[in-house]
Amino acid sequence: MRIVVTGGAGYIGSHTCVELLNGGHEVIIVDNLVNSHREVIERIAQITGERPLFYEADATSDLAVDLIFSTHQPEGVIHFAGLKAVGESVQVPLAYYRNNLLSTMVVLDNCLKHGVDRFVFSSSATVYGENQVPFVETMELGHRTNPYGETKAICERMLTDVAEVNPQLAVTLLRYFNPVGAHESGLIGEAPQGVPNNLMPYLTQVAKGVLGELQVFGNDYPTPDGTGVRDYIHVVDLAEGHVLALERAEPGVSIYNLGTGKGTSVLELVEAFEKANNLKIPYTITARRAGDIAECYADVRKAREQLGWTAKRDLTEMARDAWRFEQQTGKNNS
């Protein structure tokens, strides 16, 4: 298939482009590089031996998206483009609502206009809010604690309403848990700007000596060791999930959790990272971070049964690949 990938130069998008190209699909990346770099396109080409088409363009621009769609007549779109920093979304909510909602509207509108029937959307486990674990797709969505999470819930709703009156549309909402790790080549991975907010990139920067020590945000949660529990998933597993979701898309709305189904605490992740890479991570326990929940992990049965997808890579591979990328490429990528 010929697929437009918005945000394809980003962390999850770039890994998905690799899997799409490996699977024989044609890839057209639309990215304004607000949180990524042109160099990533070269690296995708280096890994796969295929050069994706690339437009440096804003997915909120109807003019740009219309032109790209009419030029290439894609058969599907994966819409990764979006802003994703939870803390920043509290500081500048309008930028988040504008970018995340408008880009989704513009891309969806152009799907309808150009007869593109497959729309895969990057959603997040954050839409579950504080709910009983494991989170299952049929649950009522919970209270979102920040504008970022709210944009994901609104986009899900918008896509669902539009699909209802456009029966040819196959909308797939993929709710990611905690993507970590990098491609085994070490050429693409997560290279956040500034001090990382997320645990794994923070760990790799402590390991590198860029940051002094890890702060563990709270050890008084109702979890086995008191630290927060998350469902970490290797980004390549996640990328493979996108290809299957796209290939198996059926008219209507399909929602899938993409996680491992296994909860891991902060201290367990630190330990796995130390073991996998044979190094020590200094840490201190500090106060809880505002807005954090105790536990978040997926019920993964639906993706397994309906897409034939399961996450294959374990914590050791996640830790090893994240560290390889940090050493080999890391900040030079940004």
Catalytic residues: 148
- Closest CB to ligand NAD among 133 and 285? 133
In the bound complex, what is the minimum distance in angstroms from residue 125's beta carbon to ligand UDP?
A: 8
**CB neighbours of residue 212 within 10 Å:** 10
Q: Is 228 a binder of ligand UDP (CB under 6 A)?
A: yes
Q: Which residue is nearest to ligand UDP (CB)?
A: 228
Residue 137 corresponds to which tokens in the numbers above? 């797709």
**Residue 99 binds which entry of ligand NAD, ligand UDP, none, with Cβ cut-offs from 5 to 8 Å by kind?**
ligand NAD
Count of helix runs (H) and strand runs (E) in the chain: 12, 13
Residue 255 corresponds to which tokens in the numbers above? 């929602």
Give the C-alpha distances (Å, rounded to integers) separating 267 from 90, 174, 281: 27, 28, 10
- Closest CB to ligand NAD among 284 and 298? 298
Of 183, 196, 240, nearest in space to 334 by CA: 196
- Closest CB to ligand UDP among 97 and 217? 217
Of 217, 117, 99, nearest in space to 167 by CA: 117
Distance CA 247, CA 64 (A): 26
Q: Which residue is nearest to ligand NAD (CB)?
A: 10
Q: Is 215 a binder of ligand UDP (CB under 6 A)?
A: yes
Distance CA 149, CA 64 (A): 27
Coil/strand/helix, residue 100: helix
**Residue 11 binds which entry of ligand NAD, ligand UDP, none, with Cβ cut-offs from 5 to 8 Å by kind?**
ligand NAD
Residue selected from 11, 55, 202, 256 as contacting ligand UDP according to rule CB under 6 A: 202
Candidate segments 134-142, 153-161, 182-190, 208-216, binder of ligand UDP by CB under 6 A:
208-216
In the bound complex, what is the minimum distance in angstroms from residue 178's beta carbon to ligand UDP?
A: 5
Establish whether the linkage from the previous residue to 134 is cis, with ω within 30° of 0. yes
Q: Is 289 a binder of ligand UDP (CB under 6 A)?
A: yes
Q: Is 88 a binder of ligand UDP (CB under 6 A)?
A: no
First to last CA, the chain: 30
**Residue 10 binds which entry of ligand NAD, ligand UDP, none, with Cβ cut-offs from 5 to 8 Å by kind?**
ligand NAD
Q: Is 199 a binder of ligand UDP (CB under 6 A)?
A: yes
**Residue 60 binds which entry of ligand UDP, ligand NAD, none, with Cβ cut-offs from 5 to 8 Å by kind?**
ligand NAD
Give the C-alpha distances (Å, rounded to integers) separating 321 from 23, 163, 303: 22, 38, 24
Distance CA 265, CA 42 (A): 36
Of 245, 320, 319, nearest in space to 77 by CA: 245
Q: By CB under 6 A, how many residues form the interface with ligand UDP?
A: 15
Radius of gyration of the chain measured on its C-alpha atoms: 19
Residue selected from 145, 197, 219, 306 as contacting ligand UDP according to rule CB under 6 A: 197
Q: Is 216 a binder of ligand UDP (CB under 6 A)?
A: yes
Q: By CB under 6 A, name the binding residues for ligand UDP.
A: 178, 197-199, 202, 214-217, 228, 230, 266, 289, 292, 296
